[in-house]
A and B are shown apart, each in its own frame.
Chain A
Amino acid sequence: MLGSGILKGLAVTAKNFVGSYHNPARMVTQEYPDVQPQLPANYRNFPFLVTENATDPMGTMRCVACQICEKECPPQCIYIEKSKDKKPDANGKLQLYPAVFDIDTAVCMSCQLCVEVCPFDAIKMDHVFAIAATNRFSGLLLNREELAKPNTYFHEIRPDEAAEVDGRLAAERAAAEEKAKAAAAAKATAATATKPATGGAAAP
C-alpha cells in the first residue's frame, strides 16, 4: 500500500533517534578538541628525524645525509645538504650528517616512502596532525632542529616498532663491536707476528 515504505523509513529513523541515546555503537562522534583522538600506533603524519638522545639532538642524529629519501620522495619535499665534516655515529663510525635537512610539510603527503627506503632508521613518521601555522614558510617548512625528536619519543608513539628498531640497531652495534674486536685481535696477532707497516692509521 502507498505509504508503507515511507512509514518503514520513519520507523528506522525513530529507532536510530532512540538508539543514539543509549547505544554508543551508533554514535561515532568524537568531540575533538575536548577529547583528543586515540591515534593507532601505525598512524603516520609527517616525518621526523630520530636522535639518540634528547640532550644533544644535533649531535646524535641517526641521519647520515645519504639523500636516498630526498631522491625517493614523490612530491620532492625533502631538501638535504651534506655536511663538510664527519661526526662519529652511535657505532663510533665517522659519518656525514645533514647540514641542512628541510621538510616542506605543506608539500609532504605523508606517504611514508622516506621511512621505508631509509637504511639507517633515521627518519620515522610522526603522530602530529595539528600543524596549522600563520606563515607558510616559517611555520610549515620544518628545518632539522624542528624535525629532530629523541628516540624516547619514538618509543612513546610506536613502542613496538621502536623496540624492534632498537633491537636491530643494538645487534648491528654488537656485530660492529664484535667485528672491531676481531679486527683488533687479528691486528694484534698480526702485529705480534709481523712487526712493521700497516698498523696505526686504519684503527678507528
Chain B
Amino acid sequence: MNLETLPLQLRNAIVDLFPPALQWFVHHLLTITVILTVFGLFFAFTTIAERKLLARLQNRLGPNRAGLPWFPKLKLWGITQPFADAIKAITKEDIVPAAADKVLHFLAPVLIVAFSLLGFAVLPFGRNLIPVELDAALLYFFAAGAATELAIFMAGWGSRNKYSLLAAMRALAQLISYELPLILSVVPVVMVCGTLSTKAIAAAQGGWTFGLLPHWHVFTPWGFAAFIIFLIATLAESNRSPFDLPEAESELIAGHLTEYSGFKYALFFMAEYFGLTALSGLGVTLFLGGWQAPCEFLQFIPSYLWFMIKLVGMIVFFIWVRGTLLRLRIDQLTRLSWKFLVPLALLNLGNGAFWALTPDWTGPLVLARWAISAAIVVVPFVLLGRRLTAGQAPRSYRYA
C-alpha cells in the first residue's frame, strides 16, 4: 500500500465500478466532490482556527463552548463551532431590502462562491493529484479569480445601501490596483520555469542542495521578492486585513455585506476563505515548492500532505497578520500598489529574466549571480520604501 498513490487508487477503484461509458463522468464528479468536501471542511475549520488563533493572539480563549448535541459535558475545545455556525446561518431569516435589486442581491453570493471555487481546478495538490491539467493554468486561475470582485460589486450595487455602494467602489479600485502586482509577481516564475502549467512549475522546484536546502523559488532573491509581493497582493485580492477596505468594519459597517444575513452572508464568508485558500495554494505551488518536501529525508510523507501543511502555514500567517495590522486608507492602498509594488514587480521581472539567462554561471560566478539578483531587489526596495514613507516617522516630544 503506497500512501502517495492511495487517493488515485481509491478513485480508480470507484471509477471502475461504473460502466466505461460513464467513467469519465464519474471521474470528474468524484474529483469535484472530493475538492468540495475537503475544502469545505478546510473552510469550516479555518473559521474556527482563525477565531481561536486570533483569540490567542489577543490573550483570549476563543470559542470553546460548542460541544456535541446530547453530550453537554463534552466540549471538545469548541471544534464543532463551525457546524453550529452553519446551522445558525441556515436557520436565520434571510432579509432582502425592499429597495434592493433582487436578482443581483441573490446572484452575488452564488456567483462569488462559484468563481472562488474555480481556481482549485488547476492546483497540483500532490505529485499525481491535479484536477485539471491545463497548459495555461496560471492564466485560467487569474481569470477565474478576478471575477470574484465582480460579484462583490454586484453585492454592493444590488443592496441599494450607501455603505455597500462605497464598499463596491473600493473593491473595484482594489481589484484594479492589485491584479497587476499579483500577476507581475508571478511572471518571473513563468520566465524561469518556462511554462504556465502549475504542475510543471511545482515539479521544477524539486531537488535539494546537500539534501537539506530545497530548490524552492522563495529561496532565491527574485523569488523571495516575488513571494512578498505575491503575499501582499494576495491579502489585497482576498480583502483581508490590512486591505479589508471593502468590508471596513469601523468605517462602512460591513461594507458590501451590510444588507446580507443568514446563509447568504455565510456564502460570502465561505467565498472569501475559498479565495484565500486558492490563492495560498497558488503561492505554495509557485514559490514554496508545491507538494515538494522541504528535506530529502522527509519524502516519506505523502506529497499531498506537504501541500496541505504549507497551505495551513500560509493561512496561519494571514491570520497572524490580521491579528496585528491596521487598515490602510483607500488612497494609501492604491499608492502602495502603483508606486511601490508595481515598480518593484517590474524590476523583479528583469531580475527573473537575469536569473533565467544565467543558469550556467558556476564557481565564483554563482556568488555574483546571487549578489546582483539581490541588489536588483533590495536597492529599489529601500529607495522606493523611503519615498513611500517620506515625512512619516515616530516623533519625539517636549515637555512643559
Direct A–B touching, Cβ under 8 Å? yes
Q: Which residues of A contact B (CB under 8 A)?
A: 1-3, 6, 9-10, 12-14, 16-17, 19-21, 26-29, 31
B202 close to chain A: CB less than 8 A: no
A9-B325, A10-B324 are contacts. A17–B385 as well, Cβ < 8 Å? no
Tell me which of B51-59, B256-264, B305-313, B364-372 binds A.
B51-59
Please determine whether A20 and B59 come into contact, CB atoms closer than 8 angstroms: yes
A selection of 13 A-B contacts at a CB cut-off of 8 Å is A2-B382, A6-B324, A10-B324, A13-B323, A16-B57, A16-B58, A16-B59, A17-B53, A17-B57, A20-B57, A20-B60, A27-B59, A31-B61
Please determine whether B59 and A13 come into contact, CB atoms closer than 8 angstroms: no
A20-B56, A20-B59, A21-B56 are contacts. A14–B385 as well, Cβ < 8 Å? no
Chain B, 60-81, contact with A by CB distance < 8 Å: what is the 0/1 string? 1100100000000000000000
A20-B59, A27-B61 are contacts. A13–B385 as well, Cβ < 8 Å? no
Please determine whether B320 and A14 come into contact, CB atoms closer than 8 angstroms: yes
Q: Which of B58, B61, B320, B381 contacts A10 (CB 8 A)?
A: B320
Please determine whether A29 and B324 come into contact, CB atoms closer than 8 angstroms: no
Which residues on the B side are within 8 Å of A29 (C-beta)?
59-61
Q: Who on chain A is nearest to B65 by CB?
A: A31
Please determine whether B325 and A2 come into contact, CB atoms closer than 8 angstroms: no
Chain B interface residue count, Cβ-Cβ cutoff 8 angstroms: 19
Please determine whether B325 and A6 come into contact, CB atoms closer than 8 angstroms: yes
B86 close to chain A: CB less than 8 A: no
Q: Measured between C-beta atoms, what is the minimum distance from B123 to chain A in Å?
A: 27
Q: Measured between C-beta atoms, what is the minimum distance from B241 to chain A in Å?
A: 12
B252 close to chain A: CB less than 8 A: no
Q: Measured between C-beta atoms, what is the minimum distance from B343 to chain A in Å?
A: 13
A16 to B325 alpha-carbon distance, docked (Å): 15
Q: Which of A9, A19, A31 contacts B59 (CB 8 A)?
A: A19
A2-B381, A2-B386, A2-B389 are contacts. A10–B59 as well, Cβ < 8 Å? no
Q: Which residues of B contact A (CB under 8 A)?
A: 53, 56-61, 64, 320-321, 323-325, 381-382, 385-386, 388-389
Q: Which of A3, A9, A20, A31 contacts B324 (CB 8 A)?
A: A9
A3 to B324 alpha-carbon distance, docked (Å): 13
Q: Who on chain A is nearest to B60 by CB?
A: A29
Given A1-B382, A20-B60, A29-B61, 20 additional A-B pairs, CB 8 A: A2-B386, A2-B389, A10-B320, A10-B324, A13-B57, A13-B324, A16-B57, A16-B58, A16-B59, A17-B53, A17-B56, A17-B57, A17-B320, A19-B59, A20-B57, A26-B59, A27-B60, A28-B59, A29-B60, A31-B61
Q: Who on chain B is nearest to A27 by CB?
A: B59
Which residues on the A side are within 8 Å of B53 (C-beta)?
17
A14 to B320 alpha-carbon distance, docked (Å): 8
Q: Who on chain B is nearest to A9 by CB?
A: B324
Which residues on the B side are within 8 Å of A1 (C-beta)?
382, 385
A21 to B64 alpha-carbon distance, docked (Å): 15
Which residues on the A side are within 8 Å of B321 (C-beta)?
10
A13 to B381 alpha-carbon distance, docked (Å): 25
A12 to B386 alpha-carbon distance, docked (Å): 24
Q: Measured between C-beta atoms, what is the minimum distance from A66 to chain B in Å?
A: 49
Q: Who on chain B is nearest to A26 by CB?
A: B59
Q: Who on chain B is nearest to A29 by CB?
A: B61
Q: Measured between C-beta atoms, what is the minimum distance from A13 to chain B in Å?
A: 5
Q: Who on chain A is nearest to B381 by CB?
A: A2
Which residues on the A side are within 8 Å of B61 (C-beta)?
27, 29, 31
Which residues on the A side are within 8 Å of B323 (C-beta)?
13
Q: Measured between C-beta atoms, what is the minimum distance from B231 to chain A in Å?
A: 12
A17 to B320 alpha-carbon distance, docked (Å): 9
Interface centre among B57, B320, B381 (most CB of A within 10 A): B57
Please determine whether B385 and A3 come into contact, CB atoms closer than 8 angstroms: yes
Which residues on the B side are within 8 Å of A3 (C-beta)?
385
A26 to B53 alpha-carbon distance, docked (Å): 15
Q: Measured between C-beta atoms, what is the minimum distance from B313 to chain A in Å?
A: 14
A27 to B64 alpha-carbon distance, docked (Å): 15
Q: Which of A13, A20, A21 contacts B320 (CB 8 A)?
A: A13
Which residues on the B side are within 8 Å of A31 (C-beta)?
61, 64
A1 to B61 alpha-carbon distance, docked (Å): 35
Which residues on the A side are within 8 Å of B388 (C-beta)?
2
Which residues on the B side are within 8 Å of A20 (C-beta)?
56-57, 59-60
Q: Measured between C-beta atoms, what is the minimum distance from B205 to chain A in Å?
A: 26
Which residues on the A side are within 8 Å of B60 (C-beta)?
20, 27, 29
Q: Measured between C-beta atoms, what is the minimum distance from A133 to chain B in Å?
A: 24
Q: Measured between C-beta atoms, what is the minimum distance from B50 to chain A in Å?
A: 13
Which residues on the B side are within 8 Å of A27 (C-beta)?
59-61
Which residues on the B side are within 8 Å of A28 (C-beta)?
59
Which residues on the B side are within 8 Å of A21 (C-beta)?
56
Q: Who on chain A is nearest to B62 by CB?
A: A29
A19 to B389 alpha-carbon distance, docked (Å): 32
Which residues on the B side are within 8 Å of A2 (C-beta)?
381-382, 385-386, 388-389
Which residues on the A side are within 8 Å of B381 (C-beta)?
2
Q: Who on chain A is nearest to B75 by CB?
A: A34
A2 to B59 alpha-carbon distance, docked (Å): 28
A24 to B343 alpha-carbon distance, docked (Å): 47
A28 to B60 alpha-carbon distance, docked (Å): 8
Q: Who on chain B is nearest to A23 by CB?
A: B59
Q: Who on chain A is nearest to B317 by CB?
A: A10
Q: Measured between C-beta atoms, what is the minimum distance from A201 to chain B in Å?
A: 69
Which residues on the B side are within 8 Å of A19 (C-beta)?
59
A2 to B390 alpha-carbon distance, docked (Å): 10
